[in-house]
Structure 1
Amino acid sequence: MYRIAKEFHFSASHQLSHLPPDHQCARLHGHNYVVVVELAAPALNADGFVRDYHELAALKRYIDDRFDHRHLNDVLDGPSTAEALARHFFDWSRARWPEVAAVRVSETPKTWAEYRP
């Protein structure tokens, strides 16, 4: 299996107000997010790629237009957790590129959430 990945970045705020008031994530706060989309294929296409990285620019535009410097509670339906973001970006990407195998989202350099069906 061939695998490729591309990394994207954005900054946004959110608040997990369903958590107890003394939980730090219940307060309004922000992150510098890192999104990694992974694509996989058993064979390469006619150009020798899993998928041309240039085609993934659509995901960068989507992230920049809808998520960058936004309040995620106003953007997403449901919780604005890293797990929910990973699933959201997976579904959006998979609808465009069938080779999408997983999406990881990081809120900090030491934490990751991944959605992989």
Structure 2
Amino acid sequence: MFRISKEFHFSASHQLTHLPADHQCARLHGHNYIVVVELSAAELNSDGFVRDYLELKPLKTYIDDVFDHRHLNDVMTGPSTAENMAKHFYDWCKARWPETTAVKVSETPKTWAEYRP
């Protein structure tokens, strides 16, 4: 199995209002997010790729236009957790690139959430 990944960055604020008021994530705060999309294939295409990295540019455009420097509570349906964002980006990517196998989202250098069906 061949596997590739590409990393994307954005900054945004959010607030997990369903948590108790004294929970730090219930307060308005922001993160410098990292999104990593992974694609896999048993065979390479005629160019020798799982998929050309240039074909992933629509994800960068989507992130820049919809998520970067936004308040995620206004963008996401449901809680704007890293887990929900990983699933959201996975669904978005899978609809465009069937080779999509996973998406990871980081809120901090030490934390990651991954969606992999």
TM-score scaled by structure 1? Answer: 1.00
Q: Say whether residues 1:55 and 2:55 are aligned partners.
A: yes
Distance 1:86 1:79 in 2: 12
What are the equivalent positions in structure 2 for 1:1-117 lying under 5 Å apart?
Answer: 1-117=1-117
- Taking only aligned residues, the RMSD between alpha carbons, in angstroms, comes to 0.3
Runs of 4+ with >6 A deviation = none
TM-score scaled by structure 2? Answer: 1.00
Unaligned runs of 5+ in 2: none
Distance 1:5 1:106 in 2: 15
Question: How many residue pairs were aligned?
Answer: 117
Secondary structure (helix, strand or coil) at the match of 1:88 reads helix
State the one-letter code of the partner of 2:50.
V
Unaligned runs of 5+ in 1: none
Deviation of 1:8 after TM superposition, in Å, equals: 0.1
